Structure 1
């Protein structure tokens, strides 16, 4: 019986796809105004031309078709931008027309897409409100100063684990991810979410990793929207389960905080307290609190840990750069305690971080969506609803922009003073314009400080039998650009 139903479903799907293909073929005249690109196949478009490294595949297409080209991914028109000039149009000069994002079907589970800041257009009042909440309560100069000691303590927690595991190989990425979870959770609601000293009780870590894994899966519902109701891969179903688990987890934290505020008549003064005050004033609903916390804790922890791991991998692969970075850090802090505000005195370390971000951007493809029909982009016309990808990886590896683009050479950022804000659109680790990463002020403090601690207090060796040239820098494309082979290192404490 199940086999018969499967055949019927396949037959129905083929029939519907064939019908839609005929309908969509009538729109070829409109496609004449689109950028050039590889010829799409009927129904499936250019899906078969992609692989598990889409950022690299898109960069290859850019060499063939130019800095702006079009694809048909199933029934979805997709425009890919691979040059600073056209990227500036998308992100800055015409960002009012491209400041929405295509919503993955996964995010439609429990209608999250209507409340998650990442997927709201910049015209949304809720998006503006949530950005203002973050800017005021998390990333303002005053808020960052208030949480400075928290960041320092949680960075120390990470290095303390390195001390306990000294002399033994460890997967640095997992430890960094766990440590960053606790740093971000303490900034948001003043408590750890996991015990980084213990391998058990890591349910929250696993929940985030499961969610990231689901988000990174190609979903037939995104390429053929008319199939969404079937949820053929059960991705939306799984997403609903994850969403309910997040809500349950954060509801416990919210209830405990409400009881504390009631019984003690005071609060912690963190983001959660600010959000609860807003609920009391009817400015937000309680349902929105877990969604915002979920978004902030997941994005911050994952992207920071990915970046630090890439920096360490590049330094271990290049002993000369490692020696120079360590010498700079140890010279600056040879006679004083390492403080976050002193990272401005580490220009070479800052250059190392930027170079690693250029080569391995945590988000290699920035997704946007055309909000208006007929917008001119790079001399072509983009239809409303089209997905617009800015390939930050391709821009960072563009030989017309960067000399020897595939070579790790931090010195280039001592010569070229590129900031993290992406103003010139040739270096876009955090995006640019309205939809740029709101956590930039936080990230640019945490990453250099944590790395400075690691380089000042430890020598870093590879496991026995490995040489620096053996460090595998192969990438794995998921939600972020991770190392395909997790970095294994041996921390060795030193006396400065």
Structure 2
């Protein structure tokens, strides 16, 4: 935790001391319900007066929580400032949160920065699962944008944007230069997502525009997810001491201006329709089902969720493949056998690439896009996690990173071994959504699972197939496979501590041999 944050915490502790001492020691009223609940509370580290367990979370949060689970068990109770939290680190406990009691735990624990400009009242990310607006937005996602029919309608567009990404990489390959894999892929995914949503490129792949939008996406999500005094001590929220709500509002305004211009162009097009997702949203607006403010929040949610996580997953997969040359060789052999002389793979080829699919799944197991699911919140009493009561108002955190490295479930959990997914017991897409026991759920599970899972799995697999088919990837001079840094840094997603740089070497596409001429029959 930053030194400045600790100083603010100490300041906050002094500010709250009189109030809390009065509540705890002066009012001194015994609440039998609390006493009864305390007997069933999960184990956890002893909290400090006022500050709680914030000093037990030093370093990367998902790693710190995993260490606490090793000491206290798969369900751990924490005090985060004045807020109560429960952390689950096993598949069985996660099932209680995401399936068995999801009707009670489907609310979001909204951060103070997440409330900037009232965004939490319109965002599919922050709205509680009981909200009619949340249900409407979720239905639009699952029944239109990410349905089988919706995905088929945008398939050609996705394939075209991936081919553009390969073309951009070919320019670098011709120069023999190492590329920042994550940054180049992000640029391609940026235009892919923007075209699916509103039929426009938002960045030239060779310009700095993509980098600027990447930083805006990251900065926006950072402000609403990073530690904030206003979340630890809600009594201080009005002061916004760290300025997170103010900066989040600035970022959201920039996105609103960006989407306003796109919406105005569409509305001024004289009735011309593009039959894309924005057209659908504007139709809903015309019948008073969605406000323009809600549409902009919805686009922001989809834009942010669909760009960073997809590109970082491709980067992680490439890092693991370069670190494991034997796995890389096996993937490329599978591509050669499946594609033959085909210049560009398309989505119809993905079903013939089971080992590549296994590589994607193993990458997401080791390096999940979101190592901690967005915190849930108990909407009412009555929920239990791992046999422990979860009172109303408690934050509930699921440590996906820890679950997918649980040695009780995964032999040799720290090893990169796609073979463990080579013959999955269920269709790959069903596994990505989280199975009955939730040992593997990189996109969450239950009613708050990521609705974009079907498109994300298609996009990541197609990009990997395309860049591995077109190029023979090599590490920069002087680097060995064991030098590839696969340490993660917690942020908007699980980013690489050292961004991956590699050299794409063009692979000549085999020319099909002409069929031998048969002698004519005389």
For this pair of structures, how many residues does the alignment match?
Answer: 487
CA contact (8 A) 2:138 2:451 kept: yes
Map 1:283-432 to 2 at 5 A: 283-336=289-342, 337-366=344-373, 367-417=375-425, 419-423=431-435, 424-432=437-445
Using the alignment, how far apart are the partners of 1:357 and 1:216 within structure 2? 21
Aligned to 1:185: 194
Using the alignment, how far apart are the partners of 2:334 and 2:234 within structure 1? 53
Using the alignment, how far apart are the partners of 1:404 and 1:47 within structure 2? 31
Map 1:84-483 to 2 at 5 A: 84-166=91-173, 167-199=176-208, 202-260=211-269, 262=270, 265-336=271-342, 337-366=344-373, 367-417=375-425, 419-423=431-435, 424-483=437-496
Q: CA deviation at 1:335?
A: 3.0
Using the alignment, how far apart are the partners of 1:8 and 1:243 within structure 2? 26
CA contact (8 A) 1:52 1:477 kept: no
Are residues 354 and 126 of structure 1, via their aligned partners in 2, closer, same or farther at CA, if it must alter by over 3 Å? same
Q: CA deviation at 1:12?
A: 7.7
Gaps in structure 1 of 5+ consecutive residues: 1-6
Using the alignment, how far apart are the partners of 2:154 and 2:17 within structure 1? 54
Using the alignment, how far apart are the partners of 1:211 and 1:9 within structure 2? 23
Using the alignment, how far apart are the partners of 1:455 and 1:376 within structure 2? 46
Q: CA deviation at 1:236?
A: 0.3
Partner SS for 2:307: helix
User: CA offsets, 1:54-85, max 9 Å, x none?
Assistant: 11111111111111111111111110111111
Using the alignment, how far apart are the partners of 2:307 and 2:11 within structure 1? 44
Q: CA deviation at 1:210?
A: 2.1
Using the alignment, how far apart are the partners of 1:200 and 1:250 within structure 2? 16
Partner SS for 1:405: coil
Aligned to 2:58: 51
Using the alignment, how far apart are the partners of 1:365 and 1:396 within structure 2? 11
Gaps in structure 2 of 5+ consecutive residues: 1-6, 510-522
Q: CA deviation at 1:244?
A: 1.0
Q: CA deviation at 1:23?
A: 2.5
User: CA offsets, 1:423-481, max 9 Å, x none?
Assistant: 23000111111000000111111111110001111111111110000000111001211
Are residues 318 and 281 of structure 1, via their aligned partners in 2, closer, same or farther at CA, if it must alter by over 3 Å? same
Q: Structure 2 length normalisation: TM-score?
A: 0.90
CA contact (8 A) 2:372 2:397 kept: yes
Partner SS for 1:96: coil
Using the alignment, how far apart are the partners of 1:88 and 1:468 within structure 2? 38
Q: CA deviation at 1:13?
A: 5.7
Aligned to 2:17: 17
Are residues 24 and 379 of structure 1, via their aligned partners in 2, closer, same or farther at CA, if it must alter by over 3 Å? farther
Map 1:74-85 to 2 at 5 A: 74-85=81-92
CA contact (8 A) 2:203 2:209 kept: no
Aligned to 1:31: 38
Using the alignment, how far apart are the partners of 1:62 and 1:31 within structure 2? 20
Are residues 9 and 185 of structure 1, via their aligned partners in 2, closer, same or farther at CA, if it must alter by over 3 Å? closer
Q: CA deviation at 1:41?
A: 0.6
User: CA offsets, 1:109-142, max 9 Å, x none?
Assistant: 1010111101111110000000111123311111
Q: CA deviation at 1:149?
A: 0.8
Q: CA deviation at 1:415?
A: 4.3
Partner SS for 2:489: strand
Using the alignment, how far apart are the partners of 2:210 and 2:191 within structure 1? 14
Are residues 493 and 216 of structure 1, via their aligned partners in 2, closer, same or farther at CA, if it must alter by over 3 Å? farther
